[in-house]
Structure 1
Amino acid sequence: MDLLKNVLADNDYPGRGVLWCTTGDGTTLGAYFLTGRSPASQARTLHRTSAGALIVAPSDAREHDHLRHYVAARQSPNWLVFGNGEQVSTVADRLACGQAPLLALDGLDYEPDPPIFTPRLTVIADNHEGGQAWFGAARHSAGDRTATNRLTLHISDLSPSEGVLMTTYHSNGQEIATGAPFTEIRTTAETCGDLLDELWSALPPHLRIAAAVFTPRDLAGSSIRQTSRTRA
C-alpha cells in the first residue's frame, strides 16, 4: 500500500474524494474533501447544519447548482452516509426505510456532466459493527456505453493505519481522467487531527476548497478545514 499523502501528491487534480481508514491509535474515521478548478467550484463552503449534516453550499446562497451543492454527509443512529453529490440523501433515505447497504447503493448513476461524466462516490458506514463500510461508485464506461458501471466494495477489519480512498478524478497535470475504482492506502496519522493535517497538506494548494474528518455516531463533531477564500 502507498501512503495517503503520496497517492494524493501524485494526483494533480483529485476532484472530490471519500476516505475510510483507521488511524494509528485505532480510531475508525471517515473523510471527505473537495478540490476545484473553476471559480464556481471554488466558491463553495462545507459546513454543519443544525441537524448535524454536512452541506456543500455556494458562498452566495442565490447560486445553487445541484451538481456542485448537496448534502455531503448524513447520519442516523445506525448509519453514516457520505459522498460527493445528491445521492447521499437518496441512500440515507433508503437506509431509513430499511434497505440493506447493497440495495441502498444500487441504481445510482454518474453525473450528467460530459465529457468526463464525474463518478458518484458514496460510503455507508455501520455505526455499530466495528468499522464496517460499503463503498459505492457509479461510473461511466471507458468506452461508448452510456449504461452506468456500478461498483460496490465491502470493507471490514481495517488494521491501524490502513484505509481505502476513492477520488472522482486523476490528473497528470495535462489530462484529466476518471479516478481509479479504489486505492488501498496507509496513513501516518495517529489521531483525527493528524488525519486532517495529512489530507489537507497533500491536496494541491491552489485547488483546495474544504475537507472534513469525522467519526461514526459523531458527525456533528466533524473537524472541518477550508481555504481562506471561503467563509468558515
Structure 2
Amino acid sequence: MDAATIALNNFEIHLQKNPYPGRGLVVGRSAVEDAWLIVYWIMGRSASSRNRQFVIEGSTLRTEPIDSSKMEDPSLLIYEAMLELPNVYLVSNGDQTRTIADLLQAGSSFDSALATREREPDAPNYTPRISAMLELQPSPAITLSILKANPFNPDLTDRFAYRPATPAPGFGVGLTTYQGDGNPLPSFHGDPLLLPLQGSQEYVLEAYWHALNVENLVSLAVKQISNVDGSSHIMVRNRYSA
C-alpha cells in the first residue's frame, strides 16, 4: 500500500468516521509551498470545553474562554498551544507547550522537559498529553510525544517518543488524544498516523475542518512555516465565539 493510500485511510478511519478523536496535532510538509505545516484542533463534549476559542498573538496560538464566567476549571482548558523559538516550532494539547519552550531555552531537551510532566489528572479519562516539535536547523526534524496513563495503574504515566523520518511533501505525522468516543474515553494507541496535507494552507484547514465531527469540533488552526526563512503564519477557525 503506498503512502497516499495509507494517509487517506488514516484520515477516513481516525478522523472522518471517528466521532471523538479529541484534541489532535499533525506536523508535515506542504504540497504546494516550500514550507511546513502544523495542524492543531480541539474538540469538546461539555459546555465548559466548548466555551473556548483560538486566539493568535504573533507566532503564538492560545486558547481563551469565550465567557470567563462560565469557565469552571481553566487549568486543563486554557493554554498556549503553539509557541516558537529560533528554528524550533512547538505544538501541544496543554500547558506543557510552555514547559517545553522554557526548558529548551534553559538548555534542556524536549524529552527532559516532558519528563517533568504527567498525563492529565482528569480521572477517569486521564487524557494523554500530546506534543510535537519541528526543528529546521541543522536539518528538518520532527519529534512527537504522548504521555498516557498506564493501563494497569493510572497513577503512573507511560511515555512514548517518536522521531519519524521527514515526510514527503503533502504528508504529515499526527497524534490524537483519544481512539474514539466512550466513557471513559479510550486513549490513543499505536504509532503516529501518516496523514494527508494536500493543497494550500487554507485548503488544509478546510479539509480538516470538514473531516472532524461537526457536533464536537470547537476550533482548528494551521500554521505555515517557510522553509526558506522560518517565518510563520497562522490561520484559525472557531465554531463558537463571543
What is the TM-score with the length of structure 2 in the denominator? 0.86
Contact 2:175 2:193 (C-alpha < 8 Å) held by counterparts = no
Among 18, 30, 41, the residue aligned to 2:49? 41
| Partner-residue secondary structure (3-state), 1:85 | coil
Equivalent residues of 2:142, 2:166 under 8 A apart: no
Q: How does 1:199-218 map to 2 (within 5 A)?
A: 199-216=208-225, 217-218=230-231
* Superposed CA offset, 1:137-164 (max 9, x none): 1110122252210111113321122221
In the alignment, the residues of structure 1 paired with residue 160 and residue 182 of structure 2 have an alpha-carbon distance, to the nearest angstrom, of 27
Contact (CA 8 Å) 1:165, 1:184: kept in 2 or not? yes
Q: d(CA) in 1 for partners of 2:140 and 2:209?
A: 23
Distance 1:186 1:111, change over 3 A: closer
Contact 1:116 1:177 in 2 (8 A): yes
Residue 12, structure 1, aligned to residue 25, structure 2? no
Counterpart position of 2:111: 102
**Which string of whole-angstrom CA distances, capped at 9 and with x for unpartnered residues, describes residues 79-133 of structure 1?**
1111100111000001111223332332321000000100011111113345311
Partner of 1:190: 199
Give the equivalent residue in structure 1 for 2:161: 152
Distance 1:31 1:67, change over 3 A: same
Which SS does the other structure have where 1:166 is aligned?
A: strand
* Conservation of the 8 A alpha-carbon contact between 1:46 and 1:210: yes
Cα 1:175–1:147 shift into 2, 3 Å: closer
Preserved contact between residue 131 and residue 158 of structure 1 (Cα < 8 Å)? no
Structure 1 runs (4+) deviating above 6 angstroms are none
Which among 18, 22, 27 is matched to residue 35 of structure 2? Answer: 27
Residue number in structure 2 paired with 1:224: 236
Say whether 1:169 aligns with 2:173: no
Q: Is the 8 A contact 1:211 1:226 kept in 2?
A: yes
Report the secondary structure of 1:169's partner residue: coil
Tell me, yes or no, if structure 1 residue 120 matches structure 2 residue 120.
no
Q: Deviations over 1:174-205 (max 9, x none)?
A: 87311124433241612212211111111101
Q: Is 1:2 aligned to residue 7 of structure 2? A: yes
- Partner residue in 1 for 2:79: 70
* Contact 1:23-1:195 within 8 A present in 2 as well: no
In structure 1, how many angstroms separate the alpha carbons of the residues matched to 2:63 and 2:191?
23
Gaps of 5+ in 2: 1-5
Deviation at 1:173, TM superposition (A): 6.8
Q: Answer yes or no: is the 8 Å Cα contact 2:30–2:198 preserved in 1.
A: yes
* 1:169 CA drift (Å): 1.0
Aligned CA RMSD, in angstroms, stands at 2.1
Indicate conservation of the 8 Å contact 2:118/2:147, yes or no: yes
Q: SS state of the match for residue 91, structure 1?
A: helix
Instruction: State the AA in 2 paired with 1:55.
Output: R
TM-score (norm 1): 0.89
Out of 12-21 and 158-167, give the one that drifted further: 158-167
Q: Are 1:54 and 2:61 matched, yes or no?
A: yes
SS of the residue corresponding to residue 177 of structure 1 reads: coil
The number of aligned residues is 228
